[in-house]
Amino acid sequence: MKLDKKEILKALENITVPGEGQNMVESGAVKNVVVFGDEVVVDITINNPSLQARKKTEVEILKVIHAEVYEKAKITVNVKVDAPAAKPKVNEIKGKPVPGIKNIIAVASGKGGVGKSTVTANLAVSLAKMGFKVGLLDADIYGPSMPIMFDVAQEKPLAVNIDGKSKMKPVENYGVKILSIGFFTQPGQAVIWRGPMAAKALNQMIFDAHWGELDFMLLDLPPGTGDIHLSIMQSLPITGAVVVSTPQEVALADARKGVAMFQQDSINVPVLGIIENMAYFTPEELPNNKYYIFGKEGAKHLAEDLKVPFLGEIPLVQSIREAGDVGRPAALQTATAIENSFEEITKKVVQEVVGRNEHLPPTEAIKITTMAGCSAVKKK
């Protein structure tokens, strides 16, 4: 009988950690699970140093694995005692603040291909149209999209000398400053990076670049909730995260994981809200017809369920895709329904950032006032 690590972790989720309201896996007490055929070694760290607590934990683990996974499993439990770790403060911002950059907003999804990059590009141009100073950092090391979506694939960031130091100058188009990992790789070259390396490259694109003053820096993340995300989130001062999902069940399940990732203790990035992309299909020639091909209002319901703000919906429209491909984000079109829907969502994002910043310590606080539907940033 070959034991399955996943099943063992699932079984361990039945054990709650006293006083924490979390199970042993969620709380991070389970450090390692190694399976050798029908043998399993569980490494565990607990806060309570008493012999009784250790014994109790060990017995519980044996019981639950025997009951839930395999009654004849040979189990070794290594219990280590660790002093309780200080819990991070709620809404604490990680990483060092970036001089001149007021808000960093991460756009994530969970599932790939749901339109993160499309949404990020359009949020960026909408913010720029409203008069904000906007930067866009394409952090998708697997498939950087921004050079194409902003029609700057042929450009390279130049070096500029700032106070005796050489810095990267972001490429600019449509009022948005852009850096992308795509500017530094060969077209067609696959980049295989581990989390810490990716975080280092991104750190350089933030700290060793001359962004100047920015009201918003948008971060287009790769899909998923992996190692790379954890490294990025822990090293950069992210103000808040926006999660993009289609209404489809498989996308929603991953979006839920995305929200959970930001909300876990070690990350603790406030979720500004969920955007429903491809909410319905509208043919260009029949603008009043809506076809809910991926299901109806799935992301809206997810937001309600998770008690995070719903930021709005974007229809599946051919011109949005075409605009992305030709490198001129659809929100740049004037007086169209598409421009309006991006503008509404952008305003909602700004409002959520304002609300979120009211809870920030004074050093990071900025004042954004929303005036007659448009917004402006006031410096302190």
Ligand X SMILES: Nc1ncnc2c1ncn2[C@@H]1O[C@H](COP(=O)(O)OP(=O)(O)OP(=O)(O)O)[C@@H](O)[C@H]1O
- Considering only 57, 103, 109, 117, the residue that binds Mg ion (CB under 5 A) is 117
- Considering only 268, 277, 282, 341, the residue that binds ligand X (CB under 6 A) is 277
- How far apart are CB 283 and ligand X at their closest, in Å? 12
Rounded CA-CA distance 46/93 in Å is 27
Considering only the stretches 15-23, 191-199, 256-264, 319-327, report the one whose residues sit in contact with ligand X under the rule CB under 6 A: 319-327
- Considering only 12, 57, 73, 115, the residue that binds ligand X (CB under 6 A) is 115
Nearest residue to Mg ion, by Cβ distance, number only:
117
314 binds ligand X (CB under 6 A): yes
First to last CA, the chain: 65
Q: Which residue shows structure tokens 């994002």?
A: 349
- Angle, CA 96 vertex, CA 349 and CA 26 arms, to 5°: 70
Instruction: Tell me which DSSP letter residue 209 carries.
Output: B
Q: Which residue shows structure tokens 């990483």?
A: 95
- Considering only 57, 103, 109, 268, the residue that binds ligand X (CB under 6 A) is 109
* Token pair for 142: 């697997």
Spatial CB neighbours of 369, under 8 Å, sequence gap ≥ 6: 375, 376, 378
Rounded CA-CA distance 223/229 in Å is 9
215 binds ligand X (CB under 6 A): no
- How far apart are CB 89 and ligand X at their closest, in Å? 32
Nearest to 244 by CA among 263, 230, 223, 227: 223
237 binds ligand X (CB under 6 A): no
231 binds ligand X (CB under 6 A): no
Considering only the stretches 89-97, 116-124, 158-166, 209-217, report the one whose residues sit in contact with ligand X under the rule CB under 6 A: 116-124
- How far apart are CB 35 and Mg ion at their closest, in Å? 35
b/e per residue, 199-216, with b = 16+ CB within 10 A? beebbebbeebbbeebbb
112 binds ligand X (CB under 6 A): yes
Nearest to 98 by CA among 236, 191, 305, 199: 236
Query: Site size for Mg ion, by CB under 5 A?
Result: 4
Residues forming the site for ligand X (CB under 6 A) = 109, 112-118, 140, 143, 145, 223, 277-278, 314, 316-317, 320-321, 324
Residues forming the site for Mg ion (CB under 5 A) = 116-117, 140, 145
